């Protein structure tokens, strides 16, 4: 969780500075943001799981950062007042555990064309924990984006905890039964694949085909699309890399796979991340590292309360060594490959 | 003999084999690159074949490299283990079938 340790730990490695690669190989340094089209809202790091790859180090003990209703209202106002923002992307922790989750979703669908919720799925079929949450989200056509590291129990539980795969499959069956992930329903259930260790991801189309075939054959469950996301060398995954002596080889692998073509579609250029305290960041990863968005000619932090789309448009994006995670191979973002 | 005959850092010296035969090394690299591209077989299937051969040939460099490649192509350890069993079965079968040569040779000299 020590973001400074992560930044300095990555910088200390004998790996060419990311910014130099941007400058020399892409010609896009400093990286510039355009007007945000997606507002990614972090409701807090509280989660019922403690996944080993989690870049925000979420868990049941993370009650330190929870978004207030007042900050949520500022998010809604920012979206309502800025035509460029079409999507609200709700994340956490487990956002459905936030006491104001349903209120926020109900209000978000009124101001945004698209609302998506990033979920670990384990609570979607848990009536005791989350009541009728599936039906609630379905009625509002909310898109679900669910982390599932692999189509087998062994890999998934190793990464996310004993019993998680079974709970996720039960939730997927339930969500399928109310239309999620089913053709023609208009209810999207997308999955996210993260490599189950210190290696890069396969091609999105190839692993999506594997997931579809195997989840249908083994579990009888359906989904719409699968997004591939490279494990970012921060948070709990950074700790794993250090403890297992994989940090240097992993960073070498990412740096050697640097793909200039991936830069154009990087999510930080069109997505703005709102921390639970309302501070704005260029992406979810910078949020974890405490690298706040830079406002031109300003010494104050950019916050959702003082949101100004025009000021943020064209700002310099803060980049550092962890950015190799988004530019390796086919590129990586919260919506999968960037090329 | 505490030092390993196969040193991990030697893999980085692989290209030195081209020092006295640059054209052959260039051709090998081009051919090698083409071999592993997706064709009638997927890249994932080709990586599994490579891993099976690597274990059969007991090349430590190839085992390390293709274990990672298999994972990066989306394979799991169950599939990788099955691939190695295939290699092992062929090696075992190939050993055993040479027993026929033994039997032929014995038959020729036995009363």
Write down the architecture of domain A3-327 according to CATH.
Alpha-Beta Barrel (3.20)
Band (A1; pLDDT cuts 50, 70, 90):
very low
pLDDT in tens, A17-75: 999 999 999 999 999 999 999 999 999 999 999 999 999 999 999 988 899 999 999 99
Sign of CA dihedral A187, A113, A334, A146: negative
CA distance A191 to A185: 17
When pLDDT is averaged across residues B36-51 and rounded to a whole number, the result is 97
Chain A interface disruption, residue of B72, B80, B81, most A CBs within 10 A: B72
Contact A155 B71 (CB under 8 A): no
Question: Does residue B2 have a pLDDT over 80?
Answer: no
When pLDDT is averaged across residues A240-251 and rounded to a whole number, the result is 96
Biggest distance spanned by C-alpha atoms of chain A: 57
Q: What single string gives the DSSP state of each residue in chain B?
A: --S-SS-GGGGGGGGGGGSS-HHHHHHHHHHHHHHTSSSSS-HHHHHHHHHHHHHHHT-HHHHHHHHHHHHHTT--HHHHHHHHHHHHHHHHHHHHHTHHHHHHHHHHH--
Question: Does residue B7 have a pLDDT over 60?
Answer: yes
pLDDT of res. A127: 75
When pLDDT is averaged across residues A148-174 and rounded to a whole number, the result is 96
CB A205 within 8 A of CB A297: no
pLDDT in tens, B85-98: 999 999 999 999 99
When pLDDT is averaged across residues A235-239 and rounded to a whole number, the result is 95
DSSP A318: P
> What domains, with CATH codes, occur in chain B?
21-109 (1.20.1290.10)
Residues of B in contact with A202 (CB under 8 A): 44, 72-74
C-alpha triplet A87, A90, A95: angle, nearest 5°: 165
Band (B1; pLDDT cuts 50, 70, 90):
low
Contact A199 B74 (CB under 8 A): no
pLDDT in tens, A246-287: 999 999 999 999 999 999 999 999 999 999 999 999 999 999
Band (A236; pLDDT cuts 50, 70, 90):
very high
CA distance B72 to chain A (A): 5
Whole-structure pTM value: 0.89
Contact B68 A154 (CB under 8 A): no
Domain extent listing, chain A: 3-327
Q: Could you tell me the strand order of the sheet in which A114-119 lies? A: A226-228, A189-193, A143-147, A114-119, A87-91, A38-42, A271-274, A280-281
């Amino acid at each position: 969780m020590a973001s400074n340790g992560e930044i300095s730990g990555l910088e200390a490695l004998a790996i060419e500075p990311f910014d130099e690669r941007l400058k020399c190989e892409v010609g896009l340094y400093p990286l510039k943001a355009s007007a945000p089209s997606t507002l990614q809202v972090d409701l807090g790091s509280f989660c019922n799981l403690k996944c080993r790859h989690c870049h925000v180090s979420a868990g049941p003990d993370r009650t330190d950062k929870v978004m207030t209703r007042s900050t949520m209202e500022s998010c809604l106002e920012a979206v309502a007042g800025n035509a460029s923002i079409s999507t609200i992307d709700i994340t956490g922790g487990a956002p459905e555990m936030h006491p104001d989750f349903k209120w926020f979703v109900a209000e978000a669908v009124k101001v945004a064309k698209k609302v998506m919720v990033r979920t670990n799925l384990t609570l979607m079929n848990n009536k005791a924990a989350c009541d009728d949450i599936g039906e609630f989200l379905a009625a509002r056509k909310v898109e679900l984006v669910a982390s599932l590291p692999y189509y087998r129990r062994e890999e998934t539980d190793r990464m996310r905890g004993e019993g998680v795969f079974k709970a996720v499959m039960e939730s997927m069956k339930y969500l399928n039964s109310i239309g999620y992930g089913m053709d023609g329903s208009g209810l999207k259930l997308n999955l996210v694949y993260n490599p189950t260790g210190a290696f890069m991801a396969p091609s999105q189309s190839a692993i999506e085909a594997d997931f579809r075939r195997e989840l249908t054959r083994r579990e009888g469950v359906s989904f719409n699309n699968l997004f591939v996301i490279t494990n970012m060398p921060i948070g709990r995954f950074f700790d794993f890399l250090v403890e297992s002596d994989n940090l240097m080889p992993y960073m070498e692998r990412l740096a050697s796979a640097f793909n200039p073509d991936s830069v154009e579609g990087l999510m930080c250029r069109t997505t703005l991340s709102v921390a639970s305290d309302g501070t704005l960041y260029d992406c979810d990863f910078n949020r974890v590292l405490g690298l706040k968005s830079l406002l031109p000619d300003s010494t104050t932090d950019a916050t959702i309360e003082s949101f100004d789309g025009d000021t943020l448009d064209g700002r310099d994006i803060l980049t550092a060594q962890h950015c190799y995670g988004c530019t390796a191979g086919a590129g990586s973002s919260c919506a999968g490959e960037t090329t | 003999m505490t030092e390993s005959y196969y040193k991990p850092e030697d893999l980085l010296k692989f290209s030195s084999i081209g020092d006295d035969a640059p054209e052959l090394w260039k051709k090998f690299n081009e051919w090698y690159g083409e071999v592993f591209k997706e064709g009638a077989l997927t890249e994932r299937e080709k990586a599994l074949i490579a891993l099976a051969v690597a274990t059969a040939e007991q090349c430590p460099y190839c085992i390390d490299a293709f274990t990672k490649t298999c994972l990066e192509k989306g394979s799991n350890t169950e599939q990788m283990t099955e691939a190695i069993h295939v290699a092992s079965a062929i090696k075992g079968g190939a050993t055993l079938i040479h027993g026929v040569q033994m039997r032929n040779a014995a038959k020729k000299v036995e009363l």
